[in-house]
Amino acid sequence: MTFNEPLAMKLYRELKNDTQIGQAVDKTKNAIAMWRRKNNLPSIADTTYNSGIHYKKVLTPIQAKEMRRFLVALDKGATLCKQAGVKPDIHAAMFAWGNAKMSSEEKVITQGFISRENKEMEKEHG
């Protein structure tokens, strides 16, 4: 597949989804998805609330960007937790994110999951 991969990666790092990246590099969203999988890059999908209202309609652009960053980090953190056999916990992740010094979002969220898991185990075992 020949296309402007540096531009695609730049757009991916700006949290653009497959459709947006594909439009910029003149490829289909499926071609971009294949490129992402080949490079072990998770999807940056448009996310909606259960109500069907797109988050970009209810958040400011800065809030929407932060929400997308959180969701990407949450997905990566949840994957790491599952690999480690730890149950992901959204509340712990949100708490950890809110208190983080944003150096490694995935690490912070994973630590939040593990912290919550440890507290639950302590409750169960006295």
pLDDT at 103 over 70: no
Most confident of 28-37, 40-49, 76-85: 28-37
Domain co-membership, 63 together with 123:
yes
Residues ≥6 apart with Cβ < 8 Å to 8: 21, 24, 25, 32, 35
Q: Could you tell me the residue range of the domain that residue 20 belongs to?
A: 1-45
Which token pair is 55? 């988050």
Rounded Cα distance, 92 and 20, in Å? 32
Residue where a domain stops, chosen among 11, 29, 45: 45
Number of domains in the chain: 2
pLDDT at 30 over 80: yes
pLDDT on residue 101:
57
Residue 104 has phi, psi (to 5 degrees) of: -145, 95
Residues of the chain with pLDDT > 90, as a percent, come to 18
Helix axes 18-25, 5-13, angle to 10 degrees: 150
Q: Per residue in 49-98, pLDDT tens?
A: 345 677 777 788 888 888 888 888 888 888 888 888 888 888 888 888 77
